[in-house]
Amino acid sequence: MRAPEAKRRRRATPPIIFARLSARITLEVQAGGTILAFFDGDSVELGTFSPEVADRAQALRMGLPLASFASGERSIDKEIEELVRRLARHRLVEYCLRQARSDQNYIIIEPQVADYWPATTRLGNTDILVLSRFAYMRRPGNEMVLESPRAGALFRICNPTVAATIAMLAAPQPISRLRRQHGFPGLDLLALLVGCQILLKIDSAGDAGPRGAEGDLVLWDFHDFLFHARSTEGRHANPLGGVYPHAGVLPPLPAVRPRWPGKPIDLREIAAAHAQPPSPLTELLRERHSTRSFDDQRPITLGEVSRLLDGAARILSQSTSRVGERDPTVACAARPYPSAGACYELELYLAVDNCEGLARGFYHYDADRHALVPINTRAQELEALLLAAQSAMDAPAAPQILITIAARFGRVSWKYSSLAYALILKDVGVLTQTLYLMATEMELGGCAVGIANIDLFAKMTGIEFHVEGPVGQFALGRSARPGVSDCGNP
């Protein structure tokens, strides 16, 4: 006699988590036990391991259950875990959730941050879960992907019943109710999603509003938060920078827009009729250019840094205002550049590599006191920040000083809806031009850097990336070739 369907489902073995190599990765064991990972024409040395580990590591092609080595009771288990964690640091491993004796995955987990490791939260029948308002599903190819700018990984959905379960969690659901659903994917998946903050555990159904479930992220609109996380480095694994993704598909647009029809009004003739010597500002604007090579034999000085910050970013005045009688008082601290809504949300952090009179290190510019405040960071983090800027500029060496422009996002999003992040980026453009003009006037070299690592900045400052984070960078120093742009870029 066959057992009822409900009983058969309860006896089903829950899926377990496997670690496996990403599709493009191959491992090679060299003489002496050194293991190398090869990918995309590059390689990474992972260390030296015992012959037993080298043999067992080949199983990572299909996948090793995390539980098979997570206990660390045997030395070989400790070595395997160390190997997998080193692969994870380089985002060379992914994870999947499936039955122990099956090759059918429920979920494939793709890390989006270095060092991601599947983290689970203990869950019980009475716990209530709800989908984060920053979580979303999309179709990048022939499958659905569940992701969130909060999460350190994305989840490729291989089983449609998982998508149905996720859809149910748009409203708060107790786990006891989810267990009764056909195709319930198991507690491990829910715990993984809670660990990534795609699902949130709340006290009761009444706490599911954005304030109760999302904490200080209530200050962010969905599209702003997604744009911030996906247009910077550190919290996604997408290609980033000048990779020319459409070079083989479409020709580049012309540098000069095709002309509109109609009779033009030639302003050159008018300009010639009212010719005057160019003003100092006009000359400054025309002399401005990007500098990517710096003269380390003649480093920038602390006095020059002081003058540049004083002219470009120092607080000039402070005031308060109210929108209405019952509204709270809003403070303003005006700087030399304009800012959306007079929010002045931008802060400057200086990574100093070579500056006469200033020790190598990481500093915050206190625009009120006109002072530099040192921040204790690890040497390898400072080095990573400077080297990333060097790579982004395609420069021969790191800049003498790298200025990170960070935003205190709540200063703008507290006031503006739907366009807060766009306003912040406009402010970054204004401040960047101000830094360019100050550097040009002082006969220094400067270069805007389009990539910033929000995860690295969070580690260096100890500030959550959604509270304050980098939105721009500016390399500064004494030009190796004054008055000459280093490449075709302006």
DSSP code per residue over 470-484: EEEEEEEE-BSSTT-
CA dist 149 and 198 (Å) reads 9
Distance CA 110, CA 94 (A): 5
Segments making up each domain of the chain, as ranges:
9-215, 278-477
Query: What integer pLDDT is reported at residue 1 of this predicted model?
Result: 46
User: What is the mean pLDDT of the segment spanning 283-309?
Assistant: 95
Would you say 145 and 157 are in contact if contact means Cβ atoms under 8 Å apart?
Answer: yes
The pLDDT tens digits for 364-394 are 999 999 999 999 999 999 999 999 999 999 9
The beta-strand segments (E) located in 89-228 are 93-98, 105-111, 128-131, 136-138, 144-147, 153-157, 173-174, 199-202
Superfamily of domain 278-477: NADH Oxidase (3.40.109.10)
- Quote the tokens at residue 387: 């080297």
Minimal CA–CA distance to 87: which of 51, 36, 13?
36
Residue partners of 98: CB distance under 8 A and separation at least 6: 15, 16, 18, 104, 105, 106
For the chain, the residue count is 490
pLDDT at 365 (0 to 100): 98
Q: 140-169 pLDDT, tens per residue?
A: 988 899 999 999 999 999 988 899 999 999
Position 488 confidence tier, pLDDT thresholds 50, 70, 90: very low
- pTM, 2 dp: 0.88
**pLDDT category, 359, cuts 50, 70, 90?**
very high
Say how many Å lie between the first and final Cα of the chain, rounded: 79
- Confidence tier at 485 by pLDDT (50, 70, 90): low
Give the separation between CA 228 and CA 50, rounded to whole angstroms. Answer: 43
Q: Report whether pLDDT(208) > 50.
A: no
Maximum CA pair distance of the chain?
103
Helix (H, G, I), strand (E, B) or coil at 327: coil
Which of 490, 489, 307, 293 lies closest to 400, judged by CA?
Answer: 293
- pLDDT for 434: 98
Q: Of 348, 358, 360, which is closest to residue 435 (Cα–Cα)?
A: 348
Q: What's the rounded mean pLDDT across residues 263-292?
A: 90
Is residue 210 over pLDDT 50? no
- pLDDT tens digit sequence for 339-357: 999 999 999 999 999 999 9
In three-state secondary structure terms, 114 is: coil
Give the integer Cα–Cα distance in Å for 180 and 125: 11
144: part of which helix (H) or strand (E)? strand 144-147
